[in-house]
Amino acid sequence: MKILLSILLTPVFYLLFGLTLLVFHPIQVICLNLFGYHVHKNSVALLNWFLLRSMSVMGVRIIFKNFQRLPDNLPKIVVCNHQSIWDIPPLIWKLKEHHLKFVSKKELAKNIPSISYNLKYGGSVIIDRSKPDEAITLISKFANYLKGNNYAVCIFPEGTRSKDGNVSRFKHAGIEAIIKVAPNALVVPIAIKNAFKFDNGGKLLKTVGVSIEFTMLEPRQLGLYNLPEQMEEIRSEISETIS
Q: Which of residues 232 and 105 earns the better pLDDT score? A: 232
Query: What is the distance between the alpha carbons of residues 70 and 137, in angstroms, rounded to a whole number?
Result: 28
What one-character-per-residue DSSP string does 47-80 give? HHHHHHHHHHTTT-EEEEES--PPPTTS-EEEEE
- In this predicted structure, what is the pLDDT of residue 163? 84
Start-to-end C-alpha separation, the chain:
27
Tell me: pLDDT of 132 over 90: no
Q: What pTM was computed for the model?
A: 0.94
What percent of the chain clears pLDDT 70, i.e. is strictly above it? 100
Q: What was the pLDDT predicted at 42?
A: 98
Least Cα distance to 174 among 151, 154, 148, 149 occurs for: 154
**pLDDT over threshold 90, residue 164:** no
- Per-residue model confidence (pLDDT) at position 118: 97
Confidence grade of residue 126 (pLDDT, cut at 50, 70, 90): very high
- For residue 88, what pLDDT is reported? 96
Domain boundaries, the chain: 61-242
Say which residues have a Cβ less than 8 Å from residue 21's Cβ, sequence separation at least 6: 47, 112, 113, 114, 115
Q: What is the Cα–Cα distance from 58 to 103, expressed in whole angstroms?
A: 29
Average pLDDT over every residue of 113-142 = 92
pLDDT of 175 strictly over 90: yes
pLDDT of residue 133: 85
Longest dimension (CA), the chain: 54
Range 10-29 burial, b when 16+ CB lie within 10 A, else e: beebeebbeebbeebbeebe
Q: Under 8 Å CB-to-CB from 225, ≥6 apart: which residues? A: none
User: What is the mean predicted confidence (pLDDT) over 121-131?
Assistant: 91
pLDDT confidence of 130, banded at 50, 70, 90? confident
Q: What angle do CA 235, 238, 243 make, to 5 degrees?
A: 120
Half-sphere exposure of 151 (CA within 13 A, CB side): 22
Burial of 227 (0-12, 13-18, 19+ CB in 10 A): middle
Over the stretch 49-94, which tens digit does the pLDDT of each residue have?
A: 999 999 999 999 999 999 999 999 999 999 999 999 999 999 999 9
Q: Residue 120: pLDDT above 90?
A: yes
Query: What is the spatial distance between Cα 177 and Cα 20, in angstroms, rounded to a whole number?
Result: 35
Rg of the chain over CA atoms, in angstroms?
Answer: 18
Q: Supply the pLDDT for residue 188.
A: 98
160 pLDDT band (50/70/90 cuts)? confident
Average the pLDDT over 213-242 and give the result: 95
Residues 6+ positions from 11 with CB-CB distance below 8 Å: none
Fold of 61-242: Glycerol-3-phosphate (1)-acyltransferase (3.40.1130)
